[in-house]
A and B are shown apart, each in its own frame.
Chain A
Amino acid sequence: MTTQIATNILNTAALYLLIAVGFGLIYGTVRFFNFAHASVYTVSAYVAYAAANLIGGSVLFNGVLGVLSGTLLGGLTEVVVYRPLRRIGASSVVLLITSLGILLVLQNALSLLFGDDTKSLQSVASAGHVVDFLGSRITPVQVVLLGSAVGASVLLAVGLRLTRLGTVLRAVANDSSLAQSVGIDVDGAVLASFLIGSALAGIGGVLWAYNTALNPQMGFTALLMGVVAAVIGGVGSVSGAIAGAIFVAVTQQIGMWFFPSEWQDVIVFPILLLFLLVRPQGFFGKPLKKATI
């Protein structure tokens, strides 16, 4: 029984980790709260759903199509909307508002095309082949979810340290105007972070859709949990994201012992407030500094 609980925790943590890492990567280079990330997540899930129902593709095909759509969407928002705004010196509030506009458009487009009801994307991969692992039941989709989350984190952590792109991304995240002045292609770095970050959100969206269900609001909860995980763990740190994701998932699980399961999202909020009060930099991060001197 306890291993089942552990598996549940790991599943949820895996999703939050994907969001936390992806969002954190993008935030690092553009420094504004990109609400459209929630839409990338949701659109990816719905594209997979559409592919499953319209084309009847395999799970792999639908999934890849969904992730690619999300990645493309994320890249487009950067190139078509955010980059021109950055050129004219838009503040982070302006960029945030713009991301809300994009969110509005995409959310409603999905509602229009698919309706507001919850859809199911069950398949052999999610329900059929249930594997017994140390006394807990785990589906192939959940295995892929866990694997992707861990794999993505490791790849990112390693990549940020060892590859040229990783160094560029860290330089831009640290000080983008300084990076620009030494000749780094900041726009390219930003685009890369959007593509990678959106791909991670897309993977999360598709896999979670297969794991549970889809509805147009799914992006909001996922985004909130992922961001809270990032804050608790420490913004800008992959290990922080891992710690934060596990912490949030464990908190929710503990909460479910005391409160009915529908309250599990509410439980997280006081924890967030507590961290903001006592340790805003989270476990491993540096606090986002207000512009002082």
Chain B
Amino acid sequence: MTNDGRPTLRCEGLSKSFDGTHALQNVRLEFPSAGIVAIIGPNGAGKTTLLNVLTGFLRADGGRFFLGERELTRLPPHKISRLGIARTFQDLRLISQVPVLENVLLARPNQKGERLLPALLRYGVAREEARNHEEAMRWLWFVGLDEKAHEAAGELSYGQQKLLALACCLAAEGRILLLDEPVAGVHPEMISQILDNLRQLREQGRLVVFIEHDIAAVRQVADTVVVMDEGRVIAQGKPNEVLEKPEIIEAYVG
């Protein structure tokens, strides 16, 4: 876990209510610039809501969040993504009818070929595609899906799809990865592969923040654990400290 002068993600006073339910109440967090942080808590604690606010998909009612000095509070999701904050979804979003490789290619940022004139005139687009193809395959190889590159994304197993989502985040050049339940519902064998990938990402100097219910997984990889309940952060710290606290065990069966 390092704080090396690179811009860090932090939020203060974040609040969000839906129809009277307080999903987030005055959440204040400061993330390291690299490492693995796990966010745990019972259902309805506000974990996914927090993720949605931090990635611009939900507008907070109050509070602000920053990447370094830059305030992100009012930014739309695509702008936050381009700042290097990538995310996955609890209900696994992918383009299922197209090949795995296409999904990853989609994630590549700053594509000239996505603009109208280059798309029509194709000046330099082929070269850019070839470069992106290489990058995409590299990330597919990293998550172990390179052999499935040309299969339809919908044909993959659940765990493989989660790996694909991770590959997309990396292809999008996400330095900060916010993952919503990356191992939930996944076959145990796949889980260790996913966790391995997360460790490698930490070594690469990225920040991985993930929401999980699987406490074993959390113990295995997390440097820090943040516990939420009823929209508040009720504890944070090293896993073996936080997870032993009686009130945590009580509020949330480990």
Contact = CB atoms under 8 A, between A and B. Distances in A.
Instruction: State if A and B touch, Cβ cutoff 8 Å.
Output: yes
A292 B57 CA distance: 7
Interface in A269-293: 292-293
A293 B52 CA distance: 8
B58 interface: yes
B47 to A, nearest CB: 13
Interface residues on A, range: under 10
Interface in A238-293: 292-293
A293 B90 CA distance: 10
B76 to A, nearest CB: 11
Contacts of B52: 293
Nearest to A292: B57
A293 B54 CA distance: 13
Judged by DSSP, the binding face of B is loop
Contacts of A293: 52, 57-58
Nearest to B58: A293
Contacts of A292: 57-58
A31 to B, nearest CB: 20
A92 to B, nearest CB: 20
A102 B58 CA distance: 39
Judged by DSSP, the binding face of A is loop
B21 to A, nearest CB: 15
Nearest to B52: A293
B196 to A, nearest CB: 29
Interface in B41-89: 52, 57-58
A293 B53 CA distance: 11
Interface in B149-187: none
A293 B93 CA distance: 11
Interface in A128-143: none
A292 B59 CA distance: 12
Contacts of B58: 292-293
A113 to B, nearest CB: 45
A289 to B, nearest CB: 12
B56 to A, nearest CB: 10
Contacts of B57: 292-293
Interface string A96-139: 00000000000000000000000000000000000000000000
A238 to B, nearest CB: 21
Interface string B137-154: 000000000000000000
A293 B57 CA distance: 7
A280 to B, nearest CB: 15
A246 B58 CA distance: 35
Interface string A193-227: 00000000000000000000000000000000000
A139 to B, nearest CB: 48
A292 B58 CA distance: 9
A293 B58 CA distance: 8
Interface string B27-50: 000000000000000000000000
Nearest to B48: A293
A292 B53 CA distance: 12
A292 B52 CA distance: 10
B170 to A, nearest CB: 22
A191 B111 CA distance: 49
A33 B189 CA distance: 48
A292 B78 CA distance: 13
B164 to A, nearest CB: 20
A291 to B, nearest CB: 11
A169 B52 CA distance: 32
A175 to B, nearest CB: 12
Interface string B88-109: 0000000000000000000000
B44 to A, nearest CB: 15
Nearest to B77: A292
Interface string B107-151: 000000000000000000000000000000000000000000000
A163 to B, nearest CB: 25
B181 to A, nearest CB: 14
A97 B182 CA distance: 39
B139 to A, nearest CB: 25
B57 to A, nearest CB: 5
Nearest to B55: A293
B61 to A, nearest CB: 16
A292 B49 CA distance: 13
A293 B16 CA distance: 14
Interface in A70-115: none
A205 B52 CA distance: 47
A234 to B, nearest CB: 18
A91 to B, nearest CB: 16
A286 to B, nearest CB: 11
5 contacts: A292-B57, A292-B58, A293-B52, A293-B57, A293-B58
5 nearest A-B pairs in the assembled complex, by CB-CB distance: A293-B57, A293-B52, A292-B57, A293-B58, A292-B58
